[in-house]
């Protein structure tokens, strides 16, 4: 049973855990965008690979190669952002574990949160690389169309 004296510490843990929950929501939105882009890239890849090899033009083969790279970068971004959410969740869990067992370890919370931020940053850099590949692909195709 929780005593009246324990209520302030539990309240503080809840207060401290609310901010990371907003971070989880934001990263979740990013994951939604990433998985949508992944699905579209996979659909386009499948459509192009359904064509017979001899029917593929040079630009189609280049597009398949680019889409394959984009899929790899999106998968990396999804993995890193998911790892980031996991670290944030562990941070929140640690808040409550620390309150329950009266553990004073701000270093563990700091390490988990820094890890979350580093993995999120790396995930966003992978996303930026995927966007770069996607926009270069568009410009390359436009150049090919104008040349013909």
The pLDDT tens digits for 90-145 are: 998 888 888 788 888 789 889 999 999 999 999 999 999 999 999 986 555 555 55
Residue 67 has pLDDT above 80, yes or no: yes
The pTM is what? 0.80
Listed by start position, the domains of the chain span: 7-147
CB atoms within 10 A of CB 87: 21
Q: What is the pLDDT of residue 95?
A: 81
Burial of 77 (0-12, 13-18, 19+ CB in 10 A): buried
Instruction: Calculate mean pLDDT across residues 13-35.
Output: 87
């Amino acid at each position: 049973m929780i005593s009246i004296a324990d209520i302030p510490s539990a309240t503080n843990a809840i207060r401290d855990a609310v901010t990371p929950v907003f971070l989880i929501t934001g990263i979740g939105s990013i994951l939604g965008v990433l998985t949508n882009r992944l699905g579209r890239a996979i659909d386009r890849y499948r459509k192009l690979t359904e064509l017979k090899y001899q029917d593929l033009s040079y630009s189609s083969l280049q597009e398949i190669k680019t889409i394959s790279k984009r899929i790899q970068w999106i998968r990396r971004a999804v993995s890193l952002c998911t790892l980031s959410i996991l670290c944030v969740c562990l941070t929140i869990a640690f808040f409550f574990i620390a309150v329950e067992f009266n553990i004073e370890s701000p270093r563990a919370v700091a390490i988990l949160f820094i890890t979350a931020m580093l993995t999120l940053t790396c995930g966003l850099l992978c996303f930026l690389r995927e966007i770069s590949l996607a926009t270069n692909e568009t410009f390359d195709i436009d150049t090919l169309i104008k040349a013909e």
